Chain A
Amino acid sequence: MANIISDETIEYVGILAKLELSDAEKEQAKKDMGSMLDYIDKLNELDTTGVEPMSHVFPVHNVFREDVIVNGDQRDIVLANAPEEKEGCFKVPKTVE
């Protein structure tokens, strides 16, 4: 089964992933994703009926923190790498029209 990736799919995935591809990159991405999915389709050979999806390998559970304030004011640290800052905030392009 060959996976044909349409222009719309690449466009859509670009929106989801916030990536903007040039036309040449798009063509390449269509090809790459198609062949990767063909390869991944190999998994369909496996009968996984009744198999629980495994996210964690170990049955570790209930890892908690107590509700105690430890952190103080770390604003300078948090803003240290900001491309643009203003008034103690991260500056971003306008988010409302």
Chain B
Amino acid sequence: MSKQYETVIGLEVHVELATKTKIFCSCSTEFGGAPNTHTCPVCTGMPGSLPVLNKKVVELALAVGLATNCQINQYCKFDRKNYFYPDNPQNYQISQLYLPICHDGGIEIETSAGKKVVGIHEIHMEEDAGKLIHDEWDDCSLVDFNRSGVPLIEIVSEPDMRSAEEVIAYLDKLRLIIQYLGASDCKLQEGSMRADVNLSVREVGASEYGTRTEMKNLNSFKAIARAIEGERARQIELIEEGGQVIQETRRWDDTKEQSYAMRSKEDAQDYRYFPDPDLVPVMISDEWISSIRGNQPELRNEKMVRYKEQYDIPEYDISIITGSKHLADLFEETVAICKNPKKVSNWIMVETMRLLKEHDLEPEQIRFSPENLAKLILLVESKAINGNVAKEVFEKVFDKDIDPEKYVEENGLKSVNDEGALRATIERIVEENPKSIEDYKSGKTKAMGFLVGQTMKEMKGKADPGMINKILKEVLDQL
């Protein structure tokens, strides 16, 4: 009989904090930009340059720590993690090992198996590395330090997760908390949230953990799920064959769905941490903590309650919309303009969701503005366009954030609300379709639909269906 195995997973989640400047210098953290245009002597490790800590980094790290129920180290320090790599300009990374800012917290997750708490071992502040671009033509690599020194927090969980589903639930919850705090946009695609997976397997019932491996290069939830399945299978197979899992760092290749050992003789993984003598300790007073707590923005649960009271939209809609800080912001801002929560919720729940799914996008990747969605809704409300036209226009809004008013104007999509002209068209169509009149009179309701369709076709889709219905009924009943 084959053995039953349990997967034990812990995560190291790196989140780029939403500051304007880097952690130790006054360079912009803006994503993109030509290589090395957001750099200075400090973030490129020039001799004689010195780091000075960005206060906002401490505040955001504290906010995340408090929202994830962590203890705060009111005396915390920075340490140097020493290793050579070209994306690391000083060949040491400024991080926290001995006294990280937060420790011993946890968040509750919910999966098909029920609710459970995933512990957070610690949260520490550190600097991001630069980017390496591999130049295939020249057989070399190129270093861009624009990301070097961008502030990160690393959230280290306890090995409390047992399945990919739990991991995804944990990441989702974490992402939502951080987004709500405004501490990061947590975009996996742009790398502003990244996860390394520590995974081991053991026989069900065993009390000791197995040897774990660490997997890097996981840049989507799907890749994380696949990597967990792949690594679990690899470790079990290894053990079943009588082999042993080696504690090592592995790189996940999502296209090949395989992980590779990143070991080499030159990577000793002995980081020789010691307190950074260029930086002084951070003392966090009780007052500072309570002011961060006091300024904490509305989190999801509070928002859900408020939506129910304030907007009276279905609970299902509330859970979807508040499931992404970006969607919630979009919703609220649009409602503020067009004062119609139900319609806004509808546009988000139906058309927006459809298009996101179609394009395989995350809600965070929505590019259209609340102004343009509000304009569209107002166009429909004022019957300037009909529902079908509105859907067509929305696709443009979704794609390119166009101004719906202008677009409707420029493309002549306004509904024809001239009752006289519509009545003339309808009368002509009725005259041309005697068969349909007979059907209508004999009670076949389908005939009505056919005539509406014909009219709409004739009006090139720009008529208000309600008005067509009304006039058509009148015309038919008069016959």
Residues of A within 8 A of B (CB): 12, 15-16, 18, 55-56, 60-71, 73-75, 77-79, 86-96
Whether B26 contacts A64 by the Cβ 8 Å rule is no
- Report the bound CA distance from A86 to B143 in whole Å: 9
Cβ of B453 under 8 Å from chain A: no
Chain A residues with CB under 8 A of B56? 66-67
Bound CA–CA A95/B86 (angstroms): 8
Nearest-CB distance from A55 to chain B (Å)? 4
Q: How far is the CB of B81 from chain A (nearest CB, A)?
A: 13
**Contact across chains for A69 and B28 when beta carbons are under 8 A apart:** yes
Q: Is B373 close to A, CB under 8 A?
A: no
- B142 near A92 (CB under 8 angstroms)? yes
Besides the known contacts A74-B39, A89-B144, 7 further A-B residue pairs in the complex with CB atoms under 8 A apart: A64-B55, A67-B20, A67-B56, A71-B25, A73-B38, A75-B34, A95-B132
Considering only CB atoms, which chain B residue lies closest to A75 in the complex? B36
Closest to A70 in B: B26
Pair A67/B280 contact, Cβ less than 8 Å: no
Check if B143 sits within 8 Å of A96, measured CB to CB.
Answer: no
Give the docked Cα–Cα distance between A68 and B22 (Å). Answer: 10
Give A12 to B267 CA distance when docked, in angstroms.
10
Q: Is the CB of B53 within 8 A of A91?
A: no
Known: A67-B56, A68-B21, A86-B142. Contact between A55 and B28, CB under 8 A? no
Q: What residues of A have a CB within 8 angstroms of the CB of B35 in the complex?
A: 75, 87-89
> 1/0 contact trace for B30-55 toward A, CB 8 Å?
00001111111100101000001111
Min CB distance, B79 to chain A, in Å?
A: 10
Residue interface bits B117-149, CB-to-A below 8 A is 1, else 0: 000000000000000111100111111110000
Chain B residues with Cβ under 8 A from A55's Cβ?
77, 275, 277
Give complex CA distance A66, B53 in Å. 9
Shortest beta-carbon distance from B231 to chain A in Å? 21
Q: Is the CB of A63 within 8 A of B21?
A: no
B265 adjacent to chain A (CB < 8 Å): yes
Report A51 CB to chain B, min CB distance, Å.
Answer: 16
Which of B20, B55, B134, B268 meets A16, CB within 8 Å? B268
Tell me, in angstroms, the Cα distance from A18 to B82 when the chains sit together.
11
Beyond A79-B36, A89-B133, A92-B86, whether A66 also contacts B142 by CB under 8 A is: no
Distance A60 CA – B143 CA, assembled complex (angstroms): 36
Separation of A10 and B46 alpha carbons in the complex (Å)? 29
Q: Which residue of A lies closest to B33 (CB)?
A: A73
Minimum Cβ distance to chain A for residue B454 (Å): 61
